[in-house]
Every structure is written in C-alpha cells, then in structure tokens.
Structure 1
Amino acid sequence: VLPSSIMLAGPGMLLNTFLTSLYVKGAVEVNHEAPTWAVAALLSAILSATDPVAVVAALGGLGAPEKLSAVVDGESLLNDGSAVVVTYVARDWVMGANAPASEKYCPTSPPTVGCICLFLLQVAGGGTLIGIFAGLILYYWVGLIHSEHSYVLETTSVLIVVYATFFSAEAAETSGVLATVTLGIMVSCMVKNQLSHAGAHGHHMVMHQLCYMCNHIIFFVAGVITVRFMWRATGCAHDFRSPRAWAELAGLYVALHVSRALMIALFSPFLRRMGYGINLKEFVILTYSGLRGAVALIMGLLILQNDYIEPAVKQMIAFHISGIVFLTLFVNGLTVDNLYRWLDMYPASPYKATYMRKIYSKIEGKCQEQSVKPMMRDWFFSDLHFEK
C-alpha cells in the first residue's frame, strides 16, 4: 500500500495540479481576464490536497477491505506535504516583486528550479528525518518504562511524542504532517511491539477517541469557513451573487474528477507493479474519493490573509476552495456508500456458500457425536425423541 500511496501523493499530485491548471487558465476569470499561470497553479495546488475523512469512514462502515481504505487514506496523509510545498512555491510566484524576499521561500520570481528542489528537500526530507528521530526516541523510552507496568504512562508518552513531533517539525520549517506520518510508520513497525497489552489497548482507545472528536471539529469549522468565504458580499466578481462564479465552480468540480481519473489511469500500470494494483471498480472509488477538506481550507485562509496578493485573486481562490470543499463533502461524502453498493465491489463467491454449508454440516455432525449421542444413551433422557 505504501508504494501506491507515495506514487499517488507525489507524481500523481503534480500531474493533477497541472491538469487542473489547464481548466483554471482556460475557464476562470479574474478581473474579466484569464488568470496568470501562477494563479492557476496556486489554486490547483491547493485543491490537489485530498482529505477523504468521510469516504474512509463510509468504507469502514461498509466492510471494505483495508487495502482500499489504506490507499485512499495513505494518499491523503502523504500528499499534504507535497501539496504544501507546491502551494508555497506558487504563492511566491503569485506575490512576485510585490513582496520582499524575507516573506518568500524562493526570493526570485518566478522561483528557480534549484530553490524549489532545496525547499522540497527541506520540507519533505526534514520532516521525514524528524519523524524517524522521534520514533527512535519513543522506541527506547517505551522500552524503559515497560517494566513499570503502567499503561497510563505508556499511552501518555505516545501522545506527548506525537504532538511534540508535529510542533517541532513545524518550528523547524519542515512538514509537520510528514513528520507525524513517519512517526506513525515507526510506531507500527517498532514501537507497538514494546507496548504492553494494556498499553496497546489504551493507546488504541485514546487515539480513536481523539480522531473522532477532531473529525467532528474539522467538519464544523469547515462549515463556518465556507459560509465566510462564499456567502458574503465582497464587491468582487466571485461571491454568491455571481452566476459566472457558480458556473466556474461547477466546471471546476467536474474538472477535478476528470483530472483525478486521468491521473489514476496513467499511473495504474505502476500501481499494479509497485503495489496491489486496482481493478475498474476500485478505480471508480479512488476517483470519487478525492474529497477536499481541512487542509485546503487552511491554505485558503493563508492566501486570504496575504497582503501581497491582489484582493480579486484572493477572493476567487477562497470562493472556489470553499465551493469545492462543500461539494465534495456533501455530494461525494454522502453518496460514496450508495456508489459502493451499486458497484458491488467485492461480490461473494458462489463457491464460498457451498463450502460454508459443508463446513457447518461437518461441525453439526461432530457436535452430535460428541454431545447428542451420549445424551441418547443416558437413562435420564431415554423418553426423548432425538430424531425429531
């Protein structure tokens, strides 16, 4: 699953950004003219960060295999880091000469290839190294406290290291998301074997409860931010009173699905070689599961608060980000379970029912030999008719 997720989150995200930029450049207007390639790349990079919380929850409730959910969730976790890098590069490009060099990661406009590579190495490589280092620290620490037989201490230690890793990576100007994901991989491979049975159970319960609360808070905040971006009169061309803005939004919603489908289709041979591969039905679910959520909204807020970007550009980006988040959550998130059932993703084998009947028949026969027949020979049950 990990190679498939890396393929979709790295090269796949870049291809998705490029294809979406073609639509933005050709169909969206800013100040009654086509946006620059920098603006198109900025909006496309933000919308390339997937957040399939609702889809993963629905797939889990439907009993989908872990492979499918892991690919969808793994892509979302890993592409946050790559999408942030591309977004920051495109933001520096949009700001251009209006912003001082101290406000940009790459001082030149447009950013040079060398600067982009160094920034990618800093964010992605630095975050990964911090995650590995934190995982080693947690591994040795849990080994030391294992003799205390305190599951509370074990669970608290894991929780503290998780948050410390994220904030340390962000303070070092690397990717806190990638650092935390790397730490999670280290925990799955090494640290979980150091936890006691009670500690592993406590860790599982605490983390699931935190995820449950955070997911609900994210959806609530997403609704508040969406109303702020879309349903207020701004005086710009992109607000709720503009029919063209709504038409652009509808076209962008379709374009995102088309670009994602093309991306997955192009990389499907590599996914088949490097990972488990996908069939046609899984291809449809992967395409439909590209929801946008908290990450896109947060990056939209950062753009909206930037003083070096034109107000019309900021409002256009904020409007389309909020609209896409709203549409993907309410359309894709609420209908993915019906699509899953309609596709009949993993139909039961007709031979399985036959084998199960034979197995149950053998179990019944063994039970009769071990329990019923001795009861038939017992004088206490001599007046019972077991044949019925």
Structure 2
Amino acid sequence: MVLLNQVLVLLLVSVIVFIIDINKKFFPVPVVLVLVGMALSSLSLFSDFSVSHDVLYDIFIPGLIFVSAYQFSAQALKKNAGIILTFSTLGMLATVLLLGTGVYWVSSFFEPLSWSVSFLLAAILVPTDPVSVVSILKGSGGSEEVSDIVEGESLVNDGTSIVIFTILLSMVQSGNSFSALNFLESFTYVSLGGIGIGLVFGWILSQAIHITSHHEYQVILSILIAYGGFTLAEMVNASGVLATVVSGILLSFAFSKHDEKEDEFRDSLGGFWNVVEPTLSSILFLFIGIQSVHYIHFQKPIIWITATIFFVLSILARFLVLGSTLLVVPSWRRKFEHLNSGLFLLSWAGIKGTMSVVLILWAESTLTIDNSVFLISVAFITTLFSFIFQSAGVYPLSRFLKKVDHSET
C-alpha cells in the first residue's frame, strides 16, 4: 500500500510539473523533477524509499531506449551514421581511457583508486543523456546537425557504456588487473551479441507491420520486441540495451519508407508509447532525486572537491576526444558551419543522467572494495553536477555561440 501511495504521489507531482512547465527552454523538466524529488525525500512517505538498479535497468531502461530509437530520424542517422557510431564506440572507449587516467591521477591526492576502479568510475561518468537538451538546442536556433549528433550518440552509447561498465566491474570484483586483450574479447562478444539479437527482433517487428492491421496487437508486439529482445540478450550475457536500440532503429527505417500501413502503425505505437514514455521518464527522474539524497554528504568536503574536479575532467576529456576525432576526418568537420561552436556545444551537451545513475546503483550493490562509499558518493555528486549545471547551461551557451558566430561573419 505504501508503494502504491508513493507511485501515485510521484505521478501527481510529475503531471503538475509538466503542466506548469516554466522556462522549459532554460531549465529542462527532467532537472526540475530531480530537484523536486530531492525535496520529496524529506517527507515521511519517502523516508524509507529506495530503488534498486534492477528496477531501473529492467523496467525503465528498455521502454525509454526503445521509444528513443524508433522515434529517431532515419534520415538523420543515415546522414550522420559515421560520426555517431564513432563517437559512441571508439570515442567512448577513448574518453573512458582519458578520463580514467585523470581520475587515477587526481584520486592519488585524495583517496587513491586502482587503475581498474578509476576506469570503472570513468565508465560510469561517460554515457550521455540528452533529456530535453535536443529540444533546447533546436529551440535556441542552434545547429540541427549538433542536435542530431547528440541525440544519436546518446542513443547508441547507452548500450556501449553498459558493455564497458560490466566488463570493468567484473575485473574489479575478481581483483584482476586491467587487461586490454580480455577487455576487447568481452567487448566484442557482448556488443555483437546484443546487435545480432536486436537485428532479429527488429526485423520481426518491421515485417509484422504488414501482417496485422489490429493496432492493439501491434502495440503488444512492440512491447514484446522492446523487452523481449532486451531480456533474451541479457540471458546470454549480451547487451540488452544494444539489442533494444538496434530493434528500434530498424523500426525507424521501416517508418521512413512512408508506406500507408507503416504510417498507421506509427500512429498506433505513438498512441501508446507517447503516454508510457513521459510516465516512465518522469517517475524515473523523481526516483533519482529521492535516491540521490542518500549520497550527498555535506559534512565531507573532500567528496565535493573531488566530484567538482571529476566533473571538469569529464567535460575536458570529452572535448579533447571529440575535437581530435573531428580534426582527423575532414568530411566530418565540414558538417559544421562553425566548427568551434559545434565542438563546444557537442562537448557541453554530453550530459550525464539516467544511465550513469543506473550504473552507480549497480556498482553500489556489487562492489566490496574498501573505498566503495567514497567512490559511489563522488560518482553520484559528479552526475548531479553534470545533469543540473550542463542542462541549465545549454540554452545560454547556444545563444552566446550563435551571437559570436554572427559577429564573425
């Protein structure tokens, strides 16, 4: 009964926030929900509230990932496939390597972390969450190219981040030192396994468009594809997130053919998922806000100092990796009318959010190392810094860079 009351209150709060929707272009609704969740933690109804990573990962993530994937523009993906895939795979690996090195060096001055744990923390802080950033970028008159790349990258790198995280977590748990060969072997199996299952499930769903015209069955089938592919992939130790992403992307390509039946299918799915998605996301962000209070230790300034440094390092590492990648490939540089502005926006828009929180809770439930409390608290505060400050800064930064570009032309 308590759980039901909690969920009903959270639903009511989320509806009120979405209705008010004050200054959404400046301050995204998800950020408001997290802050409201932090305030709700002081109520007696939520005094004993706790959510596990299993609930977030198995219930919330597949649905949210599937909606993002099938609603992502197939045209935008075709146009930016190379840069999106590179940023979300090789770029993510390079960012983990660079940020992990920085974490290892900085932690030696405060709370020394091993190489494996440093890379694990970096893997937690690397996945990006576009929340309302994409709509803010477009609403500010920013580059549509940047918006498409940020959205596509965040979609794919959710799956990549899970793969990297689980491999590093197993190394930390087993006490093994970091091995590049073992890492690459595991990364290949988990990634290709998830992609393969996603291709099969996505093909089934795209073909089912032409089999039945019953909207109810089509919606049920989409649920089975979103959660079934995810569950099957996880059962064989492959990436469930990648499986769901791939199946959703295949469906997006099916929609792009503009067949009349596919348009009807899109409408029927939208009627269901356009209600489910904001419901899941709003409750999820309130969950994050309530849960985060457990990890904020104001009496330990060393945690806040370390988190601040890691927050800055995460932005710097992303900037260096993205900048180096764009410099290496001239055709990608030409995608941006103003390269410097595009690079700054791409770097700043790499906001940590939902996936980072899931990975933090996952690490907390399994890690047994001596400094795990310090690690989890720093990771959570760093994620909150990114989620709040970067989200709030997207609009003014976009507008400022736009003025600078106009003044130079």
Q: How does 1:105-184 map to 2 (within 5 A)?
A: 109-110=176-177, 112-145=179-212, 148=213, 150-184=214-248
Distance, in Å, in 1 between the alignment partners of 2:262 and 2:395 is: 37
Instruction: Judge conservation of contact 1:55–1:336 (CA < 8 Å) in 2.
Output: yes
Q: How does 1:218-237 map to 2 (within 5 A)?
A: 218-230=284-296
Match of 2:400 among 338, 342, 365: 342
1:211 paired to 2:307: no
Distance, in Å, in 2 between the alignment partners of 1:111 and 1:259 is: 20
Q: 2:82 maps to what in 1? A: 3
Spell out, residue by residue over 1:170-197, the C-alpha distance to the aligned partner (whole angstroms, 9 max, x if none): 2222111111111122112236646343
Give the C-alpha shift of residue 205 in structure 1. Answer: 3.9
Instruction: Judge conservation of contact 2:160–2:242 (CA < 8 Å) in 1.
Output: no
Q: 1:25 maps to what in 2? A: 104
1:299 paired to 2:359: yes
1:174 alignment partner, SS class:
coil
Instruction: Judge conservation of contact 1:17–1:44 (CA < 8 Å) in 2.
Output: yes
Q: 1:14 maps to what in 2? A: 93
1:241 paired to 2:320: no
Q: 1:235 maps to what in 2? A: none
Moved over 6 A (4+): 345-348
Give the C-alpha shift of residue 168 in structure 1. Answer: 2.0
In the alignment, structure 1 segments of 5+ residues that lack a partner are 98-108, 231-238, 349-388
Instruction: Judge conservation of contact 2:254–2:262 (CA < 8 Å) in 1.
Output: no
Distance, in Å, in 2 between the alignment partners of 1:112 and 1:243 is: 34
Distance, in Å, in 1 between the alignment partners of 2:135 and 2:286 is: 17
TM superposition score normalised by structure 2: 0.72
Match of 2:342 among 263, 282, 289: 282
Spell out, residue by residue over 1:82-132, the C-alpha distance to the aligned partner (whole angstroms, 9 max, x if none): 2222222322332344xxxxxxxxxxx235444323321221101111111
Question: Does the C-alpha gap of structure 1 residues 347 and 265 become closer, same or farther in structure 2, counting only changes over 3 Å?
Answer: closer
Spell out, residue by residue over 1:28-49, the C-alpha distance to the aligned partner (whole angstroms, 9 max, x if none): 259x652211121111111111
Question: Does the C-alpha gap of structure 1 residues 224 and 218 become closer, same or farther in structure 2, counting only changes over 3 Å?
Answer: same
Give the C-alpha shift of residue 158 in structure 1. Answer: 2.5
Q: 1:34 maps to what in 2? A: 112
Matched residue count: 324
The structure with more radius of gyration: 1
2:207 is aligned with what amino acid?
Answer: Y
Instruction: Judge conservation of contact 1:151–1:196 (CA < 8 Å) in 2.
Output: no
Distance, in Å, in 2 between the alignment partners of 1:112 and 1:22 is: 15
* Higher-RCO chain (CA-CA 8 Å, sequence separation at least 6): 2
Q: 1:81 maps to what in 2? A: 159
Question: Does the C-alpha gap of structure 1 residues 198 and 191 become closer, same or farther in structure 2, counting only changes over 3 Å?
Answer: closer
1:202 paired to 2:268: yes
Spell out, residue by residue over 1:200-245, the C-alpha distance to the aligned partner (whole angstroms, 9 max, x if none): 2222343333322222222212212211122xxxxxxxx4312222
1:190 alignment partner, SS class:
helix
Distance, in Å, in 2 between the alignment partners of 1:161 and 1:73 is: 22
Q: 2:149 maps to what in 1? A: 71
TM superposition score normalised by structure 1: 0.76
Q: 2:130 maps to what in 1? A: 52
Give the C-alpha shift of residue 4 in structure 1. Answer: 0.9
Distance, in Å, in 2 between the alignment partners of 1:117 and 1:19 is: 17
2:350 is aligned with what amino acid?
Answer: G
In the alignment, structure 2 segments of 5+ residues that lack a partner are 1-79
